Every structure is written in structure tokens, then in C-alpha cells.
Amino acid sequence: MRFFLIFFICIFLFADDYYDKNSSSVTKYDLELMQEFDKLVYELSDKEPKSLDINAIYKFIKIHKKYITDYSLAKVNLTASTGIDSSYTNDSDRKREYSKVGIQLTYPIFDPKSNKDMQNKKLEYNFKILDEIKQYVKLRNQLIAKQRELKFNRLIQIKQKLQVKKAVIYLNEKLKTIEQILNLQNDILDIKSNLQISKTTLLNYVKDSYKKQLEELLK
């Protein structure tokens, strides 16, 4: 009883390790795993994956996003002048001539047309953020679905090994499952790569000091 209790705890803690650890023979681990086969399969199908709060993510990015300044609207003017300073009373050792150079930077903050253009750009920017969040959530859901499918097929693979040994099914059926596992692993690699790109894009919308908090919201 104590042994089986430890075994069930191990299954719970290492649920991702449904590997066929010895394809040439049926191991004690395989037999023990098959005793819990129905339970493990139903847990995979019944377990609800954690959903992300899209509204919370969008609000967080909107509040802490980096400000974008359109420097093309800025105008730089150079001014230069020369003259004679008439404030001196004693000109024995002093020069009255002077030269001045000035730089003037202007930005149309209160220009109505510029403000309208800036508002439109902000709106487009916000829609871009929403689209990126949507893409991230879609990829994350795909990854969870593929990982659950992979766990299920690994359990099936172990069960089929026992069935082949008992001549219940042909080896070809087991090979089809192995092929499906390989395809799922490739799909997961592709999704993980795209998910990382999407995550990095979202993190780059906010200031560096808020990136860790956003990462927590994206888990």
C-alpha cells in the first residue's frame, strides 16, 4: 500500500514524464502506469487550462507602455548675430564686439491637426497591441493543446507496447502513434518559437521596470 501511494504521488509530480523508457520490454513502471491509465487519461481531458485575462494584460501595457515621440514634427532653428556691447564705460582693455549663436527647438504640441494625427497614431498603436495579445493567447492555447495531446499519445504508446507483446494489436499501429508523437514534438517546437517572439514583442511595449510584472500576467 505504501509503495503504491509513493507511485501515485510520483505520477502526480512528474506527469510530464509519460515516456516509454524501455521500448524493447514491458517494465514494472509500464504495468503500474497502466493501472492508472483511465484515471490519467480522464484527467488530461477534464483538466481546464488556465485562461489569460486579456483585458488585464491590455490595461497593464496601456498604462506602462513606452512613450513614442515623433521627432519628424520637431523643427530646429539656428540663429547667429554679431554686434557691439554699449554697456561698457571703460573701453581701455575690453572688446565691445560680440558674437551669439542660438539653437531653437520647436514641437507643435497644441497644433490641432498634429494633435489629431497623434491621436490616430495612438489608436493604431493600441489596436496593434491588442492584435499582438490576441496572437500570443492563440499561440499559448495551441501550445497547451499540443502538449496535452502529446501526453495522451505517450500514454497510448506505452499501452500499445503491452498490446503488441500480447498480440492484441499489430506493430504498425504502435508505429503510427510514434509517428504522431514525432509530429507533435515538431509542432510544439514551432509554436514555442513563435510564442517567444510574440512574448518578446509584448514585453518591448512596456518600460523595462514593468517587464517582470507583465511576464507574470502572460503565464
DSSP string, 15-56: TT----S-TTS--HHHHHHHHTHHHHHHHHHHPPPPPP-HHH
Kindly state whether residues 128 and 203 are assigned to the same domain.
Answer: yes
> Looking at residue 174, what is its pLDDT?
82
Kindly state whether residues 154 and 203 are assigned to the same domain.
Answer: yes
Kindly state whether residues 171 and 150 are assigned to the same domain.
Answer: yes
> Looking at residue 89, what is its pLDDT?
53
- Residue recorded with cell 496572437: 135
Kindly state whether residues 136 and 204 are assigned to the same domain.
Answer: yes
Task: Show the domain range for 85.
Answer: 71-106
Comparing CA positions, the residue from 148, 135, 123 lying closest to residue 218 is 135
> Looking at residue 81, what is its pLDDT?
62
Residues of the chain with pLDDT below 50 are: 1-15, 93
> Looking at residue 4, what is its pLDDT?
42
Kindly state whether residues 190 and 157 are assigned to the same domain.
Answer: yes
Q: How many domains would you assign to the chain?
A: 2
Kindly state whether residues 8 and 59 are assigned to the same domain.
Answer: yes
Kindly state whether residues 135 and 116 are assigned to the same domain.
Answer: yes
Kindly state whether residues 144 and 169 are assigned to the same domain.
Answer: yes
> Looking at residue 12, what is its pLDDT?
39
